[in-house]
A and B are shown apart, each in its own frame.
Chain A
Amino acid sequence: MDDGARVTLTDINDPAYFHKVVDCQWACPAHTPVPEYIRLIADGRYSDAYMINWKSNVFPGILGRTCDRPCEPACRRGRVEKEPVAICRLKRVAADYKDDIKDRLPSKGASNGKRVALVGAGPASLTVARDLLPLGYEIVVYDGDNRAGGMIRSQIPKFRLPESIIDEEVNYILDMGAVTRLGEYVGSMTELLKENYDAIFVGCGAPRGRDLDVPGREEAKANIHIGIDWLSSVSFGHITKIGKRVIVLGGGNTAMDCCRSSRRLGGDSVTVIVRSGFEEMKASPWEKEDAMHEDIPILNYHVPKTVEHDNGKLKGMWFEKVKAEVDAKGRRNLVPTGEPDVFIECDDVLVAIGQENAFPWIERDAGIEFDRWGLPIIGEKTLQSTTLPKVFFGGDAAFGPKNIIWAVAHGHDAAISIDKFCQSQDVADRPPPLFNLVSQKMGIHEWSYDNEVSNDLRYRVPLREKAIALRDIKMEVELGFDPVLAFQEAERCLNCDIETVFTPKLCIECDACVDICPVDCITFAPPGDEEDLRTRLMAPAPNLTQDLYIADGLKTGRYMVKDEDVCLHCGMCAERCPTGAWDMQKFFLEMAHADTGHACHR
């Protein structure tokens, strides 16, 4: 082999290697150990499953209903059959069926004399509180609303997320002993700085909904509402009805919440209208499905042109029909089709065409630098202001609108930063995750996990009957999996965290693993570099986002090459291995949080 053909052998001691194999956990911003909690659910250990979640993502009951689920598109199951495991709704099962877990929660530590202010009582701030309270920090939470929860409470409709779930999970944190200053809008960063907190965390979200700029908008403003503000008013009971005919502009999840809420407040004919194509809509596929299930049509390729009104009384809206064309430079443009404009009558319009960050309360001379998009300049991992080191950002306030699970991930990271900052340690020095790799062999053909691969297709979550669900905006639509369905769905999980670990010096190259592998992912091949090896495997390996596990040290000089892409983690290779060169080992990775592994890192 010449120098050019050198290949990077796999270093399985690097936690990132096996972490990446657990696609769901790798994709989760908070790196929740998903297969581990799914196995616990299958085992009926709901409280244990809940606690695994609670440690990682703080709001299992809330996220189990509302998460954007980056884990599901990543799920390996989706690459070997039609649909991924219903990870998100299994999380809800843990929350629904758990016992009282209050005695398992950490309690407030003895005071360390440090005071931290949290601006906004949303998911990012609450995560910071959850991580710092056990360490003895005095946590003061500010929010303009009278109740904590932030956008979780104000923007997510109650038919998706009941109030009781929010109260329960928000209170787990506040009851640890946070000082709450709710209903107290922070109007000035300069004033807040004067209160001499040791650190300030800004988790105020992205509170400004983008407005519509078309003729007639201003005149008909009485019946044109900004989506997130309207949702918030609905949430707090200030708005209880809407006109019979409603147009919702925008294709994101906020638009889906607006249209479904309208259906419950008197909107008989609700239409979602988007500029671009149905496929390009930002809303999650399942949220679009839910909207269409409630008889809400989605019109695509309609660009708002003017608002039609009669002396300020809204009549309807004109739209221009467009189509997508790719220009010479490969850019996708929307161009008019030339067809006549379309008029749609309506009584109300909800504008849900995007959200923006707004920090009107942070004076530009307060010492915090902002970029030209109005976002604070902060460290990517530390979330610390580069110019005012005692101020940290997280959630939508940090890098623009994302989602709850990202807010939680930011909260954990910011808590580490704040702790290090308050203890005069290097904030850039990030603690490594805790990881472990343990054999699951119990005997011959016997593993401590259920390695039989289920052939079941994804189970649907039962829904409340539509006619009943649409009657009450506070009635939860999804009923959740019952324990039987939950078990069946949990069995679809491929246990990707039970890793195939190869020990070359034990291998006698008998081919038993190659012969048995149901997805042809193992090959013993003459050496080569990765690009070359990918062309010489038992089955094509075109998915470059998935690693090849490459090991040398075999008697024939060949490499063992395993394409991780569609491995079922069924353990057949290890069962057929006569020498134990293959073993199934459970990979467990837990992110470091401010309150864990403290003794080791201080």
Chain B
Amino acid sequence: MTYLAKPKLHHPSLQPNQLGFTRRDYEGAISTLCAGCGHDSISAALIQACYQLDLPPHRIAKLSGIGCSSKTPTYFLGASHGFNSVHGRMPSVLTGANLANRDLIYLGVSGDGDSASIGLGQFAHLMRRGVNMTYIVENNGVYGLTKGQFSATSDRGSKSKKGAINADEAIDMAALALQLGATFVARSFSGDKTQLVPLIEAALSHQGTAFIDCISPCVAFNNHVGSTKSFDYVREHNEAVNFLDVITPRAEITTEYDEGAVQEVTQHDGSVLRLRKLAGDYDVNDRIAAMRFLAEHHAQGEIVTGLLFVDPEPEDLHVHIKTVPTPLKELNETALCPGSAALAKLNASLR
């Protein structure tokens, strides 16, 4: 079995973005995941979003843990920084990186095993601290690499490929992120890029912890009848609360909508999130209402997708711990180690 690289030839009309890069320039190595894996669609959505936002690839750091999902950073943004860390430990490695160099755009890629099982504690504390990053869980509800056991996000009552019924309650990662204080929470589906790409763009523009729970069917082990994470099931039970357009500060606003049908949220970086409401008067600025909405629809067997909550003025970890605006890695030794006199002074202030 060979994996040929994707041919270099491209469509003659392929356009460069403001940086002069085409979408193809944001690609990585060829994927070695199973054919049809939802994760590859998420990679494609990330490529599209970074291209559309004109992000310089060398200013992005992509970090991951262990698992099928955590392999994917190899398959996109080949010119960006990458760190494939320890199982479940992406949040602490990323937090450290962010503390050392706050100027990069941080993208954490994880899966339901990596974040909801072995890394649940790390996930929770990163959310609490408000690290400025985009955290994507590629959620397929199954342990694909070990051939199909239930994961911590498998719904109770869902059926494995071999026919076993899951007796354990599922962890709802989006609900958890809301409860733990994430300032941007969304859920989407790998099979719907028209929804997913703008959500990733909005998350990358968000200056706080942006969490996306992205349902990503495992074609090899979790795409059968009885699964609640299959293409068919998700398409049948998808309850989208809104449709998002991301308008970057540079872009001209041309489309007009009926008043009341649209909610606009201006983020701190100047980007405008225009939400076309699909579910009644769903308000994306109300954390408690969002938690209630999720719980109610979960009880009805529906999968709520879209932008669930956003705080337009988030505070991140650096604000909380009052670090200087200059990235720590750019400070020299004198600034970082001011000497024993300064230490004595600090100690004295704490006595």
Interface residues of A, Cβ cutoff 8 Å to B: 79-81, 443-446, 451-453, 455, 508-512, 514-516, 518-521, 539-540, 555-556, 566, 568, 570, 572, 575-579
Q: Which of B13-66 contact A (CB under 8 A)?
A: 13-14, 24, 31, 34-38, 40-41, 43-44
Tell me if B36 and A445 are in contact (CB < 8 A): no
Cα A419 to Cα B200 with chains together (Å): 68
Closest 5 A/B residue pairs (Cβ) = A578-B36, A453-B7, A515-B44, A510-B36, A539-B11
Query: Which A residues are in CB contact (< 8 Å) with B37?
Result: 510, 512
Query: Which A residues are in CB contact (< 8 Å) with B191?
Result: 509-511
Check B6 for interface membership: any CB of A closer than 8 A. Answer: yes
Cα A568 to Cα B34 with chains together (Å): 23
7 inter-chain pairs at a CB distance below 8 angstroms, sorted by A residue, are: A80-B12, A520-B14, A555-B232, A570-B4, A570-B7, A578-B35, A578-B36
Query: Which B residues are in CB contact (< 8 Å) with A510?
Result: 36-38, 41, 191, 217, 219, 231
Check B318 for interface membership: any CB of A closer than 8 A. Answer: no
Cα A508 to Cα B35 with chains together (Å): 12
Cα A458 to Cα B313 with chains together (Å): 57
Query: Which A residues are in CB contact (< 8 Å) with B9?
Result: 80-81, 453, 455, 518-519, 568
Cα A519 to Cα B24 with chains together (Å): 10
Query: Which B residues are in CB contact (< 8 Å) with A540?
Result: 13
Partner of A445, one of B3, B6, B219, B232: B3
Query: Which B residues are in CB contact (< 8 Å) with A444?
Result: 1
Cα A81 to Cα B8 with chains together (Å): 11
Cα A539 to Cα B22 with chains together (Å): 13
With both beta carbons as reference points, the residue of chain A lying nearest to B37 in the complex is identified as A512
Cα A539 to Cα B34 with chains together (Å): 26
Interface residues of B, Cβ cutoff 8 Å to A: 1-4, 6-14, 24, 31, 34-38, 40-41, 43-44, 190-191, 193, 217, 219-220, 223, 231-232, 235
Instruction: For the complex formed, measure the closest distance between the CB of A593 and the CB atoms of chain B, giving whole angstroms.
Output: 36
Tell me if A566 and B190 are in contact (CB < 8 A): no
Tell me if B12 and A508 are in contact (CB < 8 A): no
With both beta carbons as reference points, the residue of chain B lying nearest to A516 in the complex is identified as B6
Cα A540 to Cα B14 with chains together (Å): 9
With both beta carbons as reference points, the residue of chain B lying nearest to A578 in the complex is identified as B36
Tell me if B41 and A455 are in contact (CB < 8 A): no
Partner of B34, one of A81, A446, A556, A578: A578
Cα A570 to Cα B4 with chains together (Å): 10
Other than the given A453-B9, A520-B14, A570-B7, 13 more pairs (CB < 8 A) read A80-B9, A453-B8, A508-B223, A515-B40, A515-B43, A516-B40, A520-B11, A539-B11, A539-B14, A568-B9, A572-B4, A575-B35, A577-B36
Query: Which B residues are in CB contact (< 8 Å) with A445?
Result: 1-4
Cα A516 to Cα B37 with chains together (Å): 12
Tell me if B231 and A576 are in contact (CB < 8 A): no
Tell me if A455 and B8 are in contact (CB < 8 A): yes
Query: Which A residues are in CB contact (< 8 Å) with B40?
Result: 512, 515-516, 576
Query: Which A residues are in CB contact (< 8 Å) with B3?
Result: 445
Tell me if B8 and A578 are in contact (CB < 8 A): no
With both beta carbons as reference points, the residue of chain A lying nearest to B193 in the complex is identified as A511
Given the interface pairs A509-B191, A509-B231, the reply to whether A521 lies near B11 with Cβ below 8 Å is yes
Tell me if B36 and A508 are in contact (CB < 8 A): yes
